[in-house]
């Protein structure tokens, strides 16, 4: 567990050389990386969404690609395309930018749903299929997607199937007054992300991703996770609750959080801290609750307040 904690702290400290005053959000991002999941970073323009993704990729030294989504993009612009080679008289595949280890999908909700759907197979099965041929994506594979709030003009809301494939969603928010002054000082001459160095090797990252899965989760904690997810489907303010992916997301993230804190076992507190980030984007609020401006995060908090926290049990 010490190795996982050490690797995680190195990544966090390196990213914080660029991202100021957002430690909780940086920690969530690293948890997502250790859990082998994909992350949706949602917020208004200019708060550091793209910079966070670039900082993370430079810290771990993975093959990196950036896709700037626009309304005129086609799915082949993401996955790649087969081109006829006149010299060899054969079709050859030219891979798209999705064929990398860490992929930054900038402003994912600027593209049409057809182009957004090009990410579905890659995010779930870590492969893409073009013209009947399947191409595997090498590990570690992670999508970091940024989006502006959907009420802004020129955006296409992500469909539920797309949202469900993101392990968690985070919000950065505006920096405090002091942190904003610090940002100005740090960028007086150059941007800190340009000077960022790799602090973890790919082999180290793959090793800790595997080790995280060995963190112990008691049966009572598993039942707690499942009950939270089931309550999202039965809550009166919810039109559509979380899928089983939500339970698996909390399971994996809780393991990562426990390891990052130096524990080889998961506590119910790990689940409670991560529930909103893992479940809020998977919940569709009912029409009546939407009129009252009920947010998914409020529903998750209400569920956490009502479900008893499991206690310790003595092994026979």
| DSSP calls for the chain | -HHHHHHHHHHHHHHTTTS-S-HHHHHHHHHHHHTT--EEEE--TTSSHHHHHHHHHHHHT--EEEEE--TT--THHHHEEEEEETTTTEEEEEE-TTSSSEEEEETGGGS-HHHHTHHHHHHHHSEEEETTEEEE-PSS-EEEEEE--TTSTT--PPPHHHHTT-SEEE---PPPHHHHHHHHHHTSSS-GGGG----S-HHHHHHHHHHHTTSB--HHHHHHHHHHHHHHHH-TTEEE---HHHHHHHHHHHHHHHHHTT-SB--HHHHHHHHHHHHGGG-EE-HHHHHTT--HHHHHHHHHHHSPPP------
Q: What are 279-301's pLDDT values in tens digits? A: 999 999 999 988 988 999 999 99
Homologous superfamily assigned to 213-306? Magnesium chelatase subunit I, C-Terminal domain (1.10.8.80)
Least confident of 1-5, 6-10, 141-145: 1-5
Domain extents in the chain? 2-73+100-207, 213-306
pTM for this prediction: 0.89
Q: What are 11-58's pLDDT values in tens digits? A: 999 999 999 889 999 999 999 999 999 999 988 888 888 888 889 989
Residue 9 has pLDDT above 60, yes or no: yes
Homologous superfamily assigned to 2-73+100-207? P-loop containing nucleotide triphosphate hydrolases (3.40.50.300)
């Amino acid at each position: 567990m010490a190795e996982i904690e050490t690797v995680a702290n190195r990544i966090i400290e390196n990213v914080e050389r660029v991202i100021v005053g957002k430690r909780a959000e940086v920690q969530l991002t690293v948890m997502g990386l250790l859990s082998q999941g994909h992350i949706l970073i949602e917020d208004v323009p200019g708060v550091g969404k793209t910079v966070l993704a670039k900082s993370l990729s430079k810290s771990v030294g993975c093959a990196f690609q950036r896709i700037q989504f626009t309304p005129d993009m086609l799915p082949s612009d993401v996955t790649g395309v087969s081109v006829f080679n006149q010299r060899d008289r054969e079709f050859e595949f030219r891979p798209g930018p999705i064929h990398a280890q860490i992929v930054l999908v900038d402003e994912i909700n600027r593209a049409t749903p057809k182009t957004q759907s090009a990410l579905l197979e890659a995010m779930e099965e870590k492969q893409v299929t073009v013209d009947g041929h399947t191409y595997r994506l090498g590990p570690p594979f992670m999508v970091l997607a940024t989006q502006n709030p959907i009420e802004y003009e020129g955006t296409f809301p992500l469909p539920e199937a797309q949202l469900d494939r993101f392990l968690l969603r985070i919000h950065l928010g505006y920096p405090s007054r002091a942190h904003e002054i610090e940002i100005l000082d740090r960028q007086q001459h150059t941007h800190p992300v340009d000077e960022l160095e790799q602090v973890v090797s790919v082999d180290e990252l793959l090793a800790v991703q595997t080790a995280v899965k060995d963190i112990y989760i008691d049966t009572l904690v598993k039942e707690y996770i499942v009950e939270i997810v089931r309550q999202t489907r039965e809550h009166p303010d919810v039109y559509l609750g979380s899928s089983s992916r939500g339970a698996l997301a909390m399971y994996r993230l809780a393991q990562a959080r426990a390891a990052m804190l130096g524990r080889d076992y998961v506590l119910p507190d790990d689940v409670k801290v991560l529930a909103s980030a893992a479940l809020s984007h998977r919940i569709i609020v009912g029409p009546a609750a939407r009129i009252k401006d009920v947010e998914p995060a409020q529903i998750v908090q209400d569920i956490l307040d009502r479900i008893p926290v499991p206690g310790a049990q003595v092994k026979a």
